[in-house]
């Protein structure tokens, strides 16, 4: 069958060929929605190709973690959704004969920014950025793993069913934030549709169409702010009560998926009318409608049916260090693992709302070019970044500058998370660069994406870190 992304085909084939000849493969993947789906895609493809492997996960791949992987004495390590940013360390292990790396990633390769001919590289490195494809918006780690999975197909095997997980990964990495998946991702969507595992539709862009009762769907619609409805429990209720529709069933509010097309049309039109009448700008109103990605084989009305809700469920397992649970759900466990994942998501939502409440009460400290807060042990380091992102726009928290959040990781280490906006990125903000340079300046390390990035720094260096980061952001935005 044709390769999904022709530009990557040759490299993917080389990676696949090497994997087929490997004896002891360790699959190492990142712990988040994209990393978990990457691992599930790679694991399924390896299994179908009858290549024996074991799986390990890491939250942040650093020298110590890579050394730990080397101690497993693999002959080949398949890194998914990370590895590119750690090429320098990985290349050293390769040179020492520890293992042969195969990398399916979409993050910025270490050393590549310097354009240095001597920058570390490795033969089996599958990354869209090496082929002129945007790794932030057009292909995720799960997408790169999918490309590899297609190259790994033995005779008579069709891995296109894995496109559904690739889409969950891309959506989890916010690659559909403009309303739909683009570029290389679009090719993967097409393959999933052809394989009958994905369905696309143009629909209301609100999160929770599968699982949230209608009033909650509208109340929590934070992406598009509709005055008198968003973040307004009684407003959302009276809006729905005012529609000439029977929106309850057996005394319970129905969900969006329970409505028929006419009912959906009525609610959507009324929402648009409300937005127009309250002066919401036209481009924001356009954002009320987007492409949605449904997993055709999953039950209607479950988190797993919708790519966005599925990715949220996976992120909940990841943030509480239950990669095993997230992976099991991706691989098809609809019993204990799914129950556990749902419980983790409920706990996660409670932690988030408590975290946001704390930040808005305590407030942030403003520097010239950024704003920051230190949660110490009050917010878990695994969720402090989302809390920071969600707090932007709340009272006293500026939309016009990036937010940096600290939380204790251990006695010795502090986690730093930074969030920006797409508008700041258009003005030159690159938080991956900010977090990387500012953390290294204080003896830590970090990286990520332009709009969201993270780092780990030694405890006690926070003030110095803020100084460096503030200066770098100032340079970027000037
Ligand atoms: Mn990713």
Confidence of residue 391 (pLDDT cuts 50, 70, 90): confident
124 pLDDT more than 80: yes
Q: Which residues 6+ apart lie within 8 Å of 71 measured at CB? A: none
CA–centroid distance, residue 361 to ligand 1 (Å): 32
Distance CA 141, CA 57 (A): 14
- What is the whole-number distance in angstroms between the Cα of residue 272 and the centre of ligand 1? 34
Class of domain 363-477: alpha beta
* Domain boundary assignment for the chain: 6-196, 204-350, 363-477
pLDDT in tens, 138-159: 999 999 999 999 999 999 999 9
Kind and range of the H or E element at 264?
helix 261-277
Distance 394 CA to ligand 1 centre (A): 28
Centroid of ligand 1 to alpha carbon of 164 (angstroms)? 16
Residue 115 has pLDDT above 60, yes or no: no
Q: What is the largest CA-CA distance in the chain?
A: 72
Q: What is the CA radius of gyration of the chain?
A: 22
What is the DSSP code (8-state) at residue 272? H
CA angle 289, 341, 247 (to 5 degrees): 45
Give residue 72 CA to ligand 1 midpoint distance, Å. 25
Are residues 337 and 313 in contact, defined by beta-carbon separation less than 8 angstroms?
no
Q: How far is CA 344 from CA 222, 319, 337, in A?
A: 22, 9, 10
- Compute, in angstroms, the gap from residue 5 CA to the centroid of ligand 1: 18
- Distance from C-alpha of 82 to C-alpha of 87, rounded to nearest angstrom: 10
DSSP per-residue codes, 167-214 = HHHHHHTTTTTTSS--THHHHHHHHHHHTTSEEEEEEE--TTTTTSBH
Label residue 112 by pLDDT band (50, 70, 90): low
**At residue 161, does pLDDT exceed 60?**
yes
- CA of 471 relative to ligand 1 center, distance in Å: 28
Q: Ligand 1: distance of its center to the CA of 312 in Å? A: 14
Q: Is the pLDDT of residue 455 over 70?
A: yes
Query: 206 alpha carbon to ligand 1 midpoint, in Å?
Result: 23
CA of 184 from ligand 1 middle (Å) equals 15
Q: Which of the pair, 231 or 455, is modelled with greater confidence?
A: 455
**Ligand 1 centroid to residue 140 C-alpha, Å:** 5
Measured between its terminal Cα atoms, the distance across the chain in Å is 49
Check: CB of residue 193 under 8 Å from CB of residue 228. Answer: no
DSSP one-letter code for 96:
T
Ligand 1 centroid to residue 139 C-alpha, Å = 9
Separation of 268 CA from ligand 1 center, angstroms? 33
Q: How far is CA 193 from CA 65, 137, 162, 201, in A?
A: 38, 20, 11, 11
Q: Output 112 or 428, whichever has higher pLDDT.
A: 428
Ligand 1: distance of its center to the CA of 271 in Å? 34
176 CA distance to ligand 1 middle (Å): 13
The CA 155 to ligand 1 mean position distance, Å, reads 30
Instruction: Provide the CATH topology of domain 6-196.
Output: inorganic pyrophosphatase (n-terminal core) (3.90.1640)
Give the per-residue pLDDT at 325.
98
> How far, in Å, from the CA of 41 to the mean position of ligand 1?
13
C-alpha 441 – ligand 1 centre gap (Å):
25
Beta bridge pairs of residue 124: 102
Q: What distance in angstroms lies between residue 80's CA and the mean position of ligand 1's atoms?
A: 9
CA of 32 to the centre of ligand 1 (A): 8
- CA triple 145-149-151, angle to 5 deg: 120
User: What span, in angstroms and rounded, lies between the C-alpha atoms of 1 and 330?
Assistant: 25
Are residues 236 and 229 in contact, defined by beta-carbon separation less than 8 angstroms?
yes
Q: How far is the CA of 255 from the centre of ligand 1 (A)?
A: 30
């Amino acid at each position: 069958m044709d390769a999904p992304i022709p530009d990557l085909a040759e490299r993917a084939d080389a990676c696949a060929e090497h994997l087929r000849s490997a004896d002891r493969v360790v699959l190492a993947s990142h712990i988040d929605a994209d990393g978990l789906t990457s691992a599930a895609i790679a694991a399924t493809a390896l299994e179908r190709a009858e290549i024996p492997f074991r799986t390990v996960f890491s939250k942040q791949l650093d020298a110590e973690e890579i050394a730990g992987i080397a101690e497993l004495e693999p002959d080949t390590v398949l890194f998914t959704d990370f590895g590119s940013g750690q090429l320098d360390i990985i290349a050293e292990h390769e040179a020492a004969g520890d293992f042969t790396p195969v990398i399916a990633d979409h993050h910025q390769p270490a050393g590549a920014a310097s354009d240095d001919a001597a920058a570390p590289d490795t033969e089996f490195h599958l990354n869209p950025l090496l082929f002129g494809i945007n790794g932030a918006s057009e292909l995720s780690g799960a997408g790169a793993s999918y490309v590899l999975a297609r190259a790994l197909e033995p005779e008579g095997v069709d891995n296109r069913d894995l496109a559904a997980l690739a889409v969950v990964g891309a959506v989890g990495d916010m690659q559909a934030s403009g309303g739909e998946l683009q570029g290389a991702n679009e090719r993967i969507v097409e393959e999933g549709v052809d394989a009958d595992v994905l369905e696309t539709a143009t629909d209301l862009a609100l999160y929770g169409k599968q699982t949230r009762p209608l009033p909650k769907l509208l109340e929590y619609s934070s992406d598009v702010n509709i005055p008198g409805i968003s973040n307004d429990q009684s407003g959302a209720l009276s809006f729905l009560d005012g529609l000439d529709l029977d929106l309850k069933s057996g005394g319970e509010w129905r969900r969006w998926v329970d409505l028929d097309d006419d009912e959906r049309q009525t609610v959507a039109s009324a929402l648009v009318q409300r937005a127009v009448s309250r002066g919401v700008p036209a481009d924001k109103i356009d954002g009320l409608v987007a492409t949605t990605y449904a997993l055709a084989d999953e039950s209607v009305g479950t988190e797993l049916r919708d790519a966005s809700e599925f990715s949220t469920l996976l992120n909940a397992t990841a943030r509480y260090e239950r990669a095993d649970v997230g992976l099991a759900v991706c691989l098809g466990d609809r019993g204990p693992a799914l129950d556990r994942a749902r419980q983790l998501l409920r706990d996660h939502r409670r932690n988030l709302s408590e975290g946001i409440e704390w930040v808005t009460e305590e407030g942030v400290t403003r520097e010239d070019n950024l704003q920051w807060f230190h949660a110490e042990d009050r917010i878990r380091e695994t969720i402090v970044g989302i809390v920071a992102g969600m707090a932007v726009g709340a009272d006293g928290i500026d939309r016009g500058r990036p937010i940096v959040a600290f939380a204790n990781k251990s006695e010795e280490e502090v986690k730093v998370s930074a969030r920006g906006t797409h508008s700041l990125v258009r003005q030159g903000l690159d938080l991956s660069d900010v977090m990387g340079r500012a953390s290294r300046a204080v003896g830590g390390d970090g990286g990520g994406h332009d709009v969201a990035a993270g780092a780990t720094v030694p405890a006690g260096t926070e003030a110095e870190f803020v100084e460096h980061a503030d200066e770098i952001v100032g340079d970027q935005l000037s």
